[in-house]
Structure 1
């Protein structure tokens, strides 16, 4: 399946771009200055959006209850401050093992936790974080970000407006000029890594087979949530109370246009060789230390050191993948990776993958 710019994208793309999460947002008790407490705000949050962009819609519900001061909006879920530059849909997929509807969040307008969250000055901060991620993706795909740097002001404004408004057609109209295509509709796709010989492809449905026509790198952001509880249902997994319990990997998947079609399973295997107890070369599975660490084209890092830690910090030899979630979808692992890339990537050209991993501790006698 290939992007159809004139038609406004594929059916799957239109479905994903139209996705929204029902939120029930409560004002934190410490910021309530009136009685009775204000009722929660009910709002639909676009999956592709970012929580700070909801502030103009949320503020009217609580403005009369707030104490004096300057607004510094931030959100938390069960005590965990939410990273504002992670797309809302990704946060939901990662933090709600069993999807919670509506998703109950707490909003703050005071006492920003600068020791946990990077500063956010509203829409401008979110916009430039998005643009920087787009530059990173372009660098991974093309080896440079010239097309992003050379965007006209009108194209940049239209691109950002399309993300704000969830307008896929407008987004595709501008993004097609950036020449960031990775995957086409040829019948061949193969991982370009040292694991490709052992990562055998599974047979896939022919109507979903979308693969590469040239050497390319897929920008991937992988979020790994691990747990060691002996549970049957993911809804019983302990709540995340610290971002240190989430391993974050910013690592490209290399592909080239020869051999059998690669599946999502193969891509995850290349990204997380630790799970499969295989020896792997760091150089073969990444595009180099600079890109793996989340480096921008100018050499600066877009993420803090703890967020770019290796998966081995949380994974063990006895780890087991319990769930893979992308855009709220729990795809079968034998789905063609090319289809996933074409249809489920975010507007900044990163594919965000949430993985739940159970750490099976050996029994000692």
Structure 2
């Protein structure tokens, strides 16, 4: 194993975070195969929440799906009213990587937030107004680096901030709303919104009313943004989604349409360079 790999520090991955997200987050310079050490005894229950089996993973997925539905539609009736056969088939399609079956069942939930058609050349298409469920994993560093191999290692989950906030997409301006705009809108602690205080207050009130706490998220993950910094002193060093590092000026609607997870959450891993606190 590469001695500079974060895994050499024995950081224990959480089972309720998607595997791809763990890889994006913990492997600053991706290497394959991903070397993992599997232990069959001495489970660190004081550090990691026990996984009781497939049912634990299934209900974690379903709970996230309900939360995403609530954010998108203002309710989760479509998920709650799924027939038992559809629920079983949806889970099996995710478990087995059966895209055709997944699309057939998930389309009944009507959880789309962006248009399907994009104009030639511009990569821009019809975008309807909506709220996009986003989970942001923020890794903050104080020292600069040019090569990801030189990035400080993650040796504790305390160094990762977990942020669960929806992103608003408006039809008339969604085509020009970039990934960078989305990331900055989720991180007002680092990038103060240029909009009026009244608009920010309205967004926060709306968010509090419509965001349903995920059972898994509330129990096992916490928002941990400790300090506010002027935006001029904060730099986005890395953004990784689904194993790729997209350009920050890419339309956010494209990112949502193509890189959202099966539970309809967009998981974004971000590395920020922030000033060192003296």
- Give the TM-score, by structure 1 length: 0.67
CA contact (8 A) 1:225 1:247 kept: yes
Among 108, 114, 119, which residue is 2:39 paired with? 108
2:72 aligned partner: 141
1:275 matched to 2:153? The reply is no
1:255 aligned partner: 169
1:309 matched to 2:228? The reply is no
The runs of at least 4 aligned residues of structure 1 exceeding 6 Å deviation read none
Moved more, 114-123 or 324-333: 114-123
2:11 aligned partner: 80
Quote the offset at 1:227 in angstroms. Answer: 1.2
User: Partners of 1:245 and 1:258 in 2: how far apart?
Assistant: 38
Question: What is the CA RMSD across the aligned residues, in angstroms?
Answer: 2.5
Per-residue CA shift, 1:244-267, capped at 9, x if unaligned?
100000100012212362111111
1:344 matched to 2:259? The reply is yes
Per-residue CA shift, 1:255-305, capped at 9, x if unaligned?
22123621111111211123334466254257423655x614xxxx43247
Q: Which has the higher contact order (CA 8 A, sep 6+)?
A: 2
1:233 matched to 2:152? The reply is no
User: Partners of 1:140 and 1:84 in 2: how far apart?
Assistant: 24
Moved more, 131-140 or 105-114: 105-114
Q: Greater strand percent: which structure?
A: 1
Task: Quickly say closer, same or farther: Cα 1:287–1:99, change in 2 above 3 A.
Answer: farther
Among 324, 334, 340, which residue is 2:239 paired with? 324
Q: Helix, strand or coil: the match of 2:235?
A: strand
2:207 aligned partner: 288
Q: Helix, strand or coil: the match of 2:144?
A: coil
CA contact (8 A) 2:116 2:257 kept: no
Moved more, 349-358 or 112-121: 112-121
User: Partners of 1:270 and 1:286 in 2: how far apart?
Assistant: 15
Q: Helix, strand or coil: the match of 1:247?
A: strand
**1:1-365 → structure 2 map (5 Å cutoff):** 78-185=9-116, 206-213=121-128, 215-259=129-173, 261=175, 262-278=177-193, 281=200, 283-284=202-203, 287-289=206-208, 295-296=213-214, 301-304=215-218, 307-311=221-225, 313=226, 316-317=229-230, 318-361=233-276
CA contact (8 A) 1:248 1:310 kept: yes
User: Partners of 1:267 and 1:118 in 2: how far apart?
Assistant: 31
Quote the offset at 1:186 in angstroms. Answer: 6.9
List gaps (5 residues or longer) in structure 1: 1-23, 25-75, 188-203
User: Partners of 1:271 and 1:186 in 2: how far apart?
Assistant: 26
1:50 aligned partner: none
Q: Greater helix percent: which structure?
A: 2
Q: Helix, strand or coil: the match of 2:221?
A: helix
List gaps (5 residues or longer) in structure 2: 2-6
Task: Quickly say closer, same or farther: Cα 1:325–1:211, change in 2 above 3 A.
Answer: farther
- For the pair shown, which has the larger CA radius of gyration, 1 or 2? 1
Q: Helix, strand or coil: the match of 1:251?
A: strand
Aligned length: 266
Quote the offset at 1:117 in angstroms. Answer: 1.8
